[in-house]
Amino acid sequence: MLDLPKDLIRVGLPLAELVAFNSERGEYDADDLKALLVNRDLAVQSWPYVYERKRPDGVVLEIAYDRMAEGGYISTYTDVTERHRAAAVLRRANEELERRVQERTQALEQAKAEAERANIGKTRFLAAASHDLLQPLNAARLFLAALDESLRANAGSHARDQEDERALARNAAAALSSTERLLDELLDISAYDSGAVRARPVDFSVGSLLAQLDLEFSALARQRGLALRVVPSTLSVRTDPQLLRRVLQNLLSNAIRYTPKGRILLGCRRRGDRLRIEVRDTGIGIAPERQKEIFEEFRRLDTGDDSEKGSGLGLSIVERICRLLDLPLEMHSRPGRGTAFTVAVPLGAEGATVSSSTKPASPDTGSEAALVVLCMDNDDAIRQGLASLLARWGHRPIVASDEATALANSNGQVPDLALVDYHLDGTTGVDVLTSLRKHWHREIRGLVITADRSEEVGARAKALGCEVMPKPVKPAALRRYLDTVARLKRAGLQEEEENEHAHRHRR
C-alpha cells in the first residue's frame, strides 16, 4: 500500500525520515502535511489519532496511530478507496437527484405561472370576443328586422323603396360578413394555441410569394390611394410557405389599414444565414407605450375612422405563427412617421422552385357549364341555403341529409359534384360519399364542407380525393370552385365530342 523501497525500511528508522522521503516524491499535499503525526503536540494529543491520506495513484489510506503501554506507537493502514468511491457515487447521485428535483420544481412553477397567465388572458380574450361577436350580430338582426318591416309595409313598392330594401340587405350582409371574418380569426387563434397547426417547412423561392402578394394587394392599395412597392427577390427560404404567407398578408393588411396616405414597401434583406422580410409603411405609427400591447387580442389603434377598424386579431395571429415557426419578429415605429415589421426567415437551398401556393384564380363572371350538385348536410337551413345559391348560379342542386335521401332525390341521376358536411348524424360525409361512389360506379368529385379544422379531418378527406372548404362558406370561394369544376366538365365533354368525331371519321 505504501510502495516504499525495501532498503529504506529498517528497525530504528525515525518517522521524520520516512515523512521526508514521501514528501520529496510528492506523496503529500498541504492538508496531508498538516495532518501528519510529526506535526502534533504529543503531550496534548488525544488517542487514537486517525486521519486519511490520498496517494498520487488515487488510493485512499486510513491511518490510525495509538500509543502502546510499553512505550512507542502502533499505526494501522487501511485501504478505504472503495468506500470513498461508493461515497462519491452516492454524493453524485444525490446531487443529480437534487438538480432534477430543482429543475422539475422550476418547470412546475413556470407551468403554473403560464397557466395562470393563460387563464387571465383567456378571460380577457373571451370577454372581448363576446363583445366583438355580438356587435355585428346585433347590427345584422336590426337590419333584417328593418328589412322585414319595410317589406310588410311596402308590398308592391316603388323603385325608391326597393332601393332602401336593397341597402338594408347589403348592411345586414356586411354585418354578417364581419362576424364571419372574426369567427375565422378566432378559430385560427384557437388552432395555434391548442397546437393543432403544425409547421411543414420546405425550401421555396420567396420571389413567387412576393409576386402573389403584389398581385393580391396592389388593387386594394390603389383603391386607398397608396403606393405599394414590392421588391423582387431570387433567394430561397426554408419554412412553411402557407404560414409565412399568412404572416405577410396580415402585415400588409395592417399597413394598408393604418396608412392614410403615402406608400408601403415589401422587400427582403439578406443578413448572414437568414433573409429579413420587411413590411414598411408611412402610416400613423405606434406610440412607444403601445408597441407591446398591439400583439394582444382585440387591441386596435385609433385611426379616427370607424370603417377602418379591424378585428384586432391580425398581429396576434402574426405573433403566434412566428412563435410556431421560430421566426424572430421585430417592430420599429415612430408616431406620425410609420412602422416597419421584420420577419427573419432561414435561407433555403439555392435554386428551390417549390411554389408557396397555387396562383390565385381569377374570378369568373359565371359558370361555364351547369353542374348537377349533391348538397348533403344534416341541417335543413344549410341545405336549402346551398340549393338556393346554386340554383341562382345556374346549377341543378340535389339536397339530402343522408345516403338514402341522396339516392331517392337523385332519381337515378349521377351528380357531377358532391358538397358534403363532414359530421353527419351517426356517420361522416366522406363515408357516405365513398358508399355513393360504389353505388353509382363512378368517382364523383367531392368537396368536404366542415367547421372541424383538425389535421385528421383534412387528411382523411384528401386521402379520398376530396377538397376541403371551412365553414362558414364564403360564396365567392365556392363559386370559384364550381366554375373550375364546370370548366373541367366542359373540357371533358369537348374531348368526348372530338374523340367521337375522330372515331366516326375513321369509320
Segment 57-62 shows an average pLDDT of 87
Whether 252 and 190 share a structural domain: no
Whether 412 and 464 share a structural domain: yes
Residue 288, judged by CB atoms within 10 A of its CB (0-12, 13-18, 19+), counts as exposed
Whether 134 and 70 share a structural domain: no
| Element holding 268 (H helix, E strand) | strand 262-271
Whether 176 and 94 share a structural domain: yes
Model pLDDT, residue 328: 92
Is residue 248 included in any domain, yes or no?
yes
Q: Which residues contact 452 (CB under 8 A, 6 or more apart)?
A: 422, 423
Q: Which of 331, 346, 361 is the C-terminal boundary of a domain?
A: 346
Segment 108-119 shows an average pLDDT of 77
Beta carbons of 227 and 358 less than 8 angstroms apart = no
Q: Which of 310, 328, 346 is the C-terminal boundary of a domain?
A: 346
pLDDT over 50 at 73, yes or no: yes
Domain count, the chain: 4
Whether 73 and 97 share a structural domain: no
- Tell me which of 180 and 40 has the higher pLDDT: 40
Q: What backbone torsions phi and psi does residue 240 show, to the nearest 5 degrees?
A: -80, 115
Whether 212 and 293 share a structural domain: yes
pLDDT over 50 at 51, yes or no: yes
The predicted-structure confidence for 82-95, as pLDDT tens digits, reads as follows: 998 998 899 999 99
Whether 337 and 466 share a structural domain: no
Q: If pLDDT is split at 50, 70 and 90, which confidence band does 366 have? A: very low
Is residue 4 included in any domain, yes or no?
no
Q: Could you tell me the pTM of the whole model?
A: 0.47
Amino acid at 194: S
Q: Which of 145, 176, 194 is the C-terminal boundary of a domain?
A: 194
The predicted-structure confidence for 134-188, as pLDDT tens digits, reads as follows: 556 555 555 565 566 666 666 555 656 666 666 666 666 666 666 666 666 666 6
**CA 480 to each of CA 99, 317, 475: distance values in angstroms, whole numbers, following the listed order:** 60, 27, 9
Among 45-59, 109-123, 261-275, the range with the most confident prediction by mean pLDDT is: 261-275
34-48, 97-111, 454-468: least confident range = 34-48
Is residue 124 included in any domain, yes or no?
yes
Handedness of CA 316, 322, 326, 332 (dihedral sign): negative
Is residue 3 included in any domain, yes or no?
no
- Enter the C-alpha cell of residue 503: 372515331
Whether 239 and 124 share a structural domain: no
Whether 135 and 49 share a structural domain: no
Model pLDDT, residue 364: 41
Q: Which residues contact 434 (CB under 8 A, 6 or more apart)?
A: 464
Cis check: omega of the bond before 48, within 30 degrees of 0: yes
- Tell me which of 357 and 347 has the higher pLDDT: 347
Is residue 50 included in any domain, yes or no?
yes
Model pLDDT, residue 357: 43
Is residue 362 included in any domain, yes or no?
no
Q: How far apart are CA 286 and CA 337, in angstroms?
A: 9
Domain that holds residue 271: 202-346
Whether 66 and 180 share a structural domain: no
Segment 306-313 shows an average pLDDT of 52
pLDDT over 50 at 270, yes or no: yes
Is residue 172 included in any domain, yes or no?
yes
Is residue 312 included in any domain, yes or no?
yes
Write the secondary structure of 39-57 as one string of H (helix), E (strand) and C (coil): HCCCCCCCCCEEEEEECCC
